[in-house]
Structure 1
């Protein structure tokens, strides 16, 4: 199994454009309340991830007793995005169909989290808490889903946009970690960011 391929499903080059496409699709279908709920839920989850990383990198602030340097962004963003899409696409389906799709999606986002452990870039606590943050964002978005979803034919636009993104250079991991390290140094005034000392 290629863990690097699986982990890329949670990279910001995938999830941030995906989040924007979902918001645009909701707006195009005049699902304004759902669009704003999605932007709020995803934005809040990603803000929590970024703040947790900056607190550690800039000031060494962490959760006591845990090998924790910040929520796993790959895990949080993938669980927020993919679970939200699953909730949206199954809102008018049977309970059995919804449960099956959500279960398969949960397996997918769990695999993304597991890949972060397998390639040794996150600890168990970072992945688990990332899953919880992302799932909470999807749950918050799901609360806004009260009107029927648009017909499946309206999925052609977001699917087409996603395909174009995949074919035009969105195939390399985003340099988010190095960017956050530089930001943490600038904010804290340190010459070097705090780094993990405990083994993974």
Structure 2
């Protein structure tokens, strides 16, 4: 049976998860938890900055650790490991503390499934995926550790409708637009980059080992 891993990996797209992250902040703010909302956005941006720095180092400078098959750290793994546990915890809190804890566990499960999809679909190596997922889980821990976890179980039908409306009105259109590709392309032009590194992941048919091929693309300045 062929498993369409690309569909699972799709749930880790930045254009899909950043609006969800914003919904988490909105939910917290509407409950009066302004400090937690800002802390959530701050830690998520800090985690994303780590991933972007790693990607820039490889794609613009060729930095890598071939012995560990580490080239481009997975942003998909980082985002799924941070956003889904937080999102499902906050929404689960609508039904009470038990539901919030269940939401956390389900979110972690989603992140693990996404990690498997990234590796099985050859989007990232094991090292790239584990590091990205590790950064994401650090963000999750920073927001949901016992000393900070003060998300009350508030039943707010109007607010729930608002969340659903934002999902339909904001999330769907944004998820269809390739934001990352556009910004990355513009960044290359702004920085005057003339070469860009990428890699292709394959499997050796004899040994079954992961084989990574580095590709250098030359770009002319516009």
8-17 or 114-123, larger mean C-alpha shift: 114-123
SS of structure 1 residue aligned to 2:199:
coil
CA contact (8 A) 2:92 2:102 kept: no
**Residues 32, 87 of structure 1: alpha-carbon distance in 2 compared, 3 angstrom cutoff:** same
Rg larger in structure = 2
| Displacement after TM superposition at 1:27 (Å) | 1.6
> Which structure: greater strand fraction?
2
| Displacement after TM superposition at 1:12 (Å) | 1.1
**Residues 186, 56 of structure 1: alpha-carbon distance in 2 compared, 3 angstrom cutoff:** farther
CA contact (8 A) 1:181 1:193 kept: no
SS of structure 2 residue aligned to 1:140:
helix
| Displacement after TM superposition at 1:190 (Å) | 4.2
TM superposition outliers: structure 1 runs of 4+ over 6 Å? none
| Displacement after TM superposition at 1:131 (Å) | 1.0
1 CA distance for matches of 2:100 and 2:181? 35
2 CA distance for matches of 1:77 and 1:170? 16
Partner of 1:5: 7
SS of structure 2 residue aligned to 1:194:
strand
What TM-score, normalized to structure 1? 0.83
Tell me the alpha carbon deviations over residues 39-80 of structure 1, each in whole angstroms, 9 at most, x when there is no partner: 111111111111110011111223463212232111111111
2 CA distance for matches of 1:8 and 1:100? 23
1 CA distance for matches of 2:30 and 2:76? 27
1:40 to 2:45 alignment: no
SS of structure 1 residue aligned to 2:196:
coil
Partner of 2:72: 70
Partner of 1:150: 154
The count of corresponding residues between Structure 1 and Structure 2 is 196
What TM-score, normalized to structure 2? 0.76
CA contact (8 A) 1:54 1:180 kept: no
Map 1:29-178 to 2 at 5 A. 29-63=31-65, 65-90=67-92, 92-94=96-98, 100-143=102-145, 144-153=148-157, 154-167=159-172, 169-172=173-176, 174=178, 176=180
5+ residue gaps, structure 2 = 202-210, 213-222
2 CA distance for matches of 1:78 and 1:193? 26
1 CA distance for matches of 2:171 and 2:41? 22
2 CA distance for matches of 1:145 and 1:73? 25
Partner of 1:191: 194
